[in-house]
Amino acid sequence: MSMRGPKRHLLIPIDPYTLSKGAERVKAALDKALALSNLTDTVRVVETGTVGHHEHGVLLIVYPDGVVYGDVTVDNIPQIVREHLQENRVVEGLVVRDVRIGPFDTRARRVEKQVRLVLRNVGLIDPESIEDYIAHEGYEAAARALTSLSPEQVLETVKASGIQGRGGAGFPTGVKWSFAAREKAPQKYIVCNADEGEPGTFKDRLILEGDPHSVLEGMLLAGYAVGATKGYVYIRGEYRMSIARMRKAIDQARSKGLLGRNILGSGFDFDVEVREGAGAYICGEETALLESMEGKRGEPRNKPPFPPQAGLWGMPTVVNNVETLANIPLIVKNGASWYRQFGTPTCPGTKVFTLVGNIVSPGLIEVPMGITLREVIFDIGHGIPRGRGFLFAQTGGTTGGILAAGELDVPMAYDTLRQVGSGLGSGALLVVDDSNCVVDLVQNFVEFFNHESCGKCTLCREGTGRLLEILHRLTSGQGDPRDIDLIRRLSVNMKRAAFCGLGQAAPTPILGALQRFEEIFREHAESHTCRAGVCRMRAEVAA
């Protein structure tokens, strides 16, 4: 968005949720009001991607003033236009203060601890305009790389930055790329993993919908570094808006010569296509994703060979997460040591989290690696609502580990969380208050795994079913003291012997919960009581 011309911009984040709250009608009312007040030359209305704060309905951000209005309806428009835009008086009653968008930190409370690298443009630029992205230094990294850096230099920069993949496992991105770069093959591929099925996770959607070009630029740089000329973005089928925005971004990049043949006269060719998923959590696993892209059932493949050696159609393929790729342009533009100033020495950079569950301010945040759980929950998320106490937090989505109250000061990074049996996973952070029952929640996790198990291997297919049976016994008052041991043994075996990451990770929250809250499991199994009063014990009813 260029600052020449209009003096003010009104940003309206558009996503399925704000649309359902009438964002389109608000925008139409604004256009009309601006025309009536002869403000069309000085004020421009920009539809941006979502900013991930859904608790305030339709947002309206006045730029560069840095004022964020929330729950805006058509009826508020005349007042905002008259008082704010004509008389320069902020309409205090409509301002929300716990939202941070782009560089606006004057009024927000949750700002200080956030560092927006990946989300630098989200909510600030028009995601459907490549010009806006370019005006915000977009494609500078690509231009610089293609004209003055060798593929090896790009690869070395990414390696030296120390960035680890943001899709869950945290594998060093530069190392993964170097495996693919080393291969000799007639064709190599870059695949952007935008399947995002992890419950509680929606960060990739917000990046795709808010700043699709940053992902494309990351793919282009990856392609250049490893010698791939074709890329695919595999997007979850339910994400209609992400799919549409990405398709549009690809067309725009192509028409500007930033995708296609001989990009910027460098002799390098690279093109990208969107592939839609069809609803299967397992297709986020990289080899299942490749199977699905080949038109088959999404069942994981044997590894090795790993995708960088033999991936899509048997060709060397780099699979990277959306957030990983969105980091790349910044790293290439600013250099590895710039990147390393954020985060911890062993885990550089920032992490985008979705903060969900029993939390006062849910939504999307970006923080430096190494921040503590306590800071995230209580300083950024403003704690737990309705005066309830903290029961536990789960990091990394449904396959993530469980952290109890005593672990609130663990730094959030791949290595430090691994030490307490957890991980960062996809970046979902679920906060659970003490009105919930941990056994009931474990049952909920297992229902998910049981539903999403692809059925290829027995341990996971049958194991999740058995676990569900046992947990159901516990939560309905039919439990038996031996059940706890059964759960533990089954979980340990699944962890050791399941074929893929789903079956191997499914036991993580189960074992984590058992370890921290065994007495609650025992109460369910032995005295058939649920102290939270959540589980409906048949024994209790009978008594």
Partner 1 sequence: MAVSEDAIQGSGAEPRASLIELLKRMQETHGCLSQEVLTKVAAETGLPLSKIYGVATFYTLLTTRPKGRYRIFFCKNAPCHVRGARRVLEAIVEYLGVQPGETTPDGLFTLELTSCLGLCAVAPAMMVGDDVYGNLTPQKAMAILEDYRTRERNEHAWS
Ligand X SMILES: Cc1cc2nc3c(=O)[nH]c(=O)nc-3n(C[C@H](O)[C@H](O)[C@H](O)COP(=O)(O)O)c2cc1C
Binding residues vs ligand X (CB under 6 A):
165-169, 171, 173, 176, 193, 195-198, 282, 284-286, 319-321, 324, 500-502
Q: Which position among 44, 54, 136, 159 is part of the footprint of partner 1 (CB under 8 A)?
A: 54
CB of 200 to ligand FES, least distance (A): 6
Which of the stretches 41-49, 106-114, 194-202, 499-507 binds ligand SF4 when contact is defined by CB under 6 A?
A: 499-507
The entry of partner 1, ligand SF4, ligand X, none that residue 294 binds, CB within 5 to 8 Å by partner kind:
partner 1
The DSSP 8-state label assigned to residue 265 in this structure reads G
Residue 532 corresponds to which tokens in the numbers above?
């939270």
Measuring CA to CA, how many Å separate 291 from each of 95, 120, 130, 297, 432?
48, 34, 32, 7, 36
| Cα dihedral sign, 200-193-15-214 | positive
Helices (H), ranges, 191-310 = 203-210, 212-226, 240-255, 286-293
Which of the stretches 64-72, 176-184, 278-286, 376-384 binds partner 1 when contact is defined by CB under 8 A?
A: 278-286
Residue 160: exposed, middle, or buried by beta-carbon count in 10 A (0-12, 13-18, 19+)? middle
Residue among 543, 532, 530 nearest 476 (CA)? 530
The entry of ligand FES, ligand SF4, ligand X, none that residue 246 binds, CB within 5 to 8 Å by partner kind:
none
The answer to the question of residue 378 lying near partner 1 (CB under 8 A) is no
Nearer to partner 1, 298 or 349 (CB): 298
Which of the stretches 162-170, 296-304, 338-346, 461-469 binds partner 1 when contact is defined by CB under 8 A?
A: 296-304
The answer to the question of residue 362 lying near ligand FES (CB under 6 A) is no
Nearer to ligand SF4, 270 or 445 (CB): 445
Interaxial angle between packed helices 507-516 and 482-497, expressed in degrees from 0 to 180 and rounded to the nearest 10: 140
Nearer to ligand X, 121 or 324 (CB): 324
Q: Which position among 34, 94, 319, 502 is part of the footprint of ligand SF4 (CB under 6 A)?
A: 502
The entry of partner 1, ligand X, ligand SF4, none that residue 286 binds, CB within 5 to 8 Å by partner kind:
ligand X
Q: Which position among 358, 416, 422, 464 is part of the footprint of partner 1 (CB under 8 A)?
A: 358
Q: Which position among 224, 353, 499, 517 is part of the footprint of ligand SF4 (CB under 6 A)?
A: 499
Q: Give the HSE-up count for residue 153: Cα atoms under 13 Å, Cβ half-sphere.
A: 12
CB of 499 to ligand SF4, least distance (A): 4
How many CB atoms within 10 Å of residue 306? Answer: 18
Nearer to partner 1, 149 or 535 (CB): 535
Q: Are 85 and 33 in contact (CB under 8 A)?
A: no
| 213/128 Cα distance (integer angstroms) | 9
Q: Which position among 52, 57, 162, 199 is part of the footprint of ligand FES (CB under 6 A)?
A: 199
CB of 179 to ligand X, least distance (A): 12
The answer to the question of residue 531 lying near partner 1 (CB under 8 A) is no
Measuring CA to CA, how many Å separate 299 from each of 125, 426, 445, 453?
38, 20, 21, 10
| 265/355 Cα distance (integer angstroms) | 44
CB of 542 to partner 1, least distance (A): 21
> CA angle, corner 81, sides to 78 and 82, nearest 5?
80
Residue among 281, 315, 317, 322 nearest 300 (CA)? 281
Which of the stretches 115-123, 161-169, 357-365, 484-492 binds partner 1 when contact is defined by CB under 8 A?
A: 357-365
Exposure b/e, 261-283, CB count within 10 A at least 16 = b: eebeeeebebbbebbbbeebbbb
Pairing of strands 43-48, 8-13: parallel
Residue 400 makes CB contacts below 8 A (sequence gap 6+) with 394, 422, 423, 425, 428, 430, 508, 509
Binding mask 319-348 for ligand SF4 (x = CB under 6 A): ------------------------------
CB of 491 to partner 1, least distance (A): 17
The answer to the question of residue 237 lying near partner 1 (CB under 8 A) is yes
The entry of ligand SF4, partner 1, ligand X, none that residue 498 binds, CB within 5 to 8 Å by partner kind:
ligand SF4
List strand residue ranges (DSSP E) for 259-337, in order.
271-276, 317-321
Residue 186 corresponds to which tokens in the numbers above?
């007639």
Query: Phi/psi at 63 (nearest 5 deg)?
Result: -115, 135
The answer to the question of residue 200 lying near ligand FES (CB under 6 A) is yes
The entry of ligand SF4, ligand X, ligand FES, none that residue 503 binds, CB within 5 to 8 Å by partner kind:
ligand SF4
| 113/86 Cα distance (integer angstroms) | 34
* Residues of this chain that bind ligand SF4 (CB under 6 A): 282, 300, 453-457, 460-461, 498-500, 502-503
* Residues of this chain that bind partner 1 (CB under 8 A): 16-17, 19-20, 52-55, 187, 196-202, 205, 237-240, 275-281, 292-298, 313, 315, 354, 356-358, 362-364, 394, 398, 428, 430, 432-433, 436, 441, 444-445, 447-448, 451-452, 454
* Residues of this chain that bind ligand FES (CB under 6 A): 199-200
